[in-house]
Structure 1
Amino acid sequence: MVCWVGYEKEGFRGHQYVLEEGEYHDWRVWGGCDSELRSVRVIRADLKDPMLVMFEQPDEEQGDMQEENTFEVTQAIPDVEPFGYKTNTLSIQVINGAWIAYSHVDFSGHQYILEKGFYNNCADWGSEDTRICSVQPILLVRTIMERKNGL
């Protein structure tokens, strides 16, 4: 299976959408904000054993005195706050797999496709905002025929 990232604007900018193999007869099918889809690229990642680490933005009132809070993730998290992580993210390191980070809880809002590597700030993941409220890995789903053939 091949997954693609579709972008609202040319040059891989703007809203991001995960596109799997198949037909999209209407922009609402891919979850678009509108019908604009100006650039696409293949997601290049080993989709097994997903893992990422999120680094929380320190509170400005506490300055550098605050201990760095990190959040290690290996599965879908619909809301980061119950895990003691605030929604303002300083940076993200994708250790393995490909991920979708969302600006709102329950996998909603703006989505950002993250592949293996280090994202130093929100601009690196394509946002103007540090808010990340939910994350989920992109997983391969094996078909019945693949399971029967031991693939």
Structure 2
Amino acid sequence: MAVMITNDIFSCFVFYSVLLVIKMYVIAIITGQVRLRKKAFANPEDALRHGGLQYHREDPYVERCRRAHVNDMENVLPFLFLGAIYSLTGPSLAVARLHFLVFFVGRVLHTIAYLLALRAPTRSLAYIVAQIPCLSMALQILTAVAAYA
């Protein structure tokens, strides 16, 4: 069964959303690989499998990767909600695409800054850039539904 998304705005939202979810999976894989390389396991059973309980420990870089992943969950999940609802409010395709693209680029830059420990305020600026379209979408959603409240 083929699924067709005929709404251009929603289709654009789905495209960027899937890219963001893939990016989150990549960070999860990176975190796991760093755990293996650094031999720093969160669970004793994993440490035992990979050499012993001495590897049931934290590692600063593993924690950095994990925090990048958690930060994505805290920011990408609200974007998925806001973007889906925003797509239903009838924005122009160009404006919607700009919102989705700016959020995506901001989150990619944030992840790169986090994983590579780039100098401050790189990560903070990327975070702010990604929050601007979310705030804009939230305000436009509220404006669109205010008449019905």
TM range (shorter): under 0.3
Structure with the higher fraction of residues in strand conformation: 1
Answer 1 or 2: higher relative contact order, Cα 8 Å, separation at least 6: 2
Q: Which protein has the bigger helix share? A: 2
What's the TM-score, normalizing by structure 1? 0.25
Query: Based on CA coordinates, which of the two structures has the bigger radius of gyration?
Result: 2
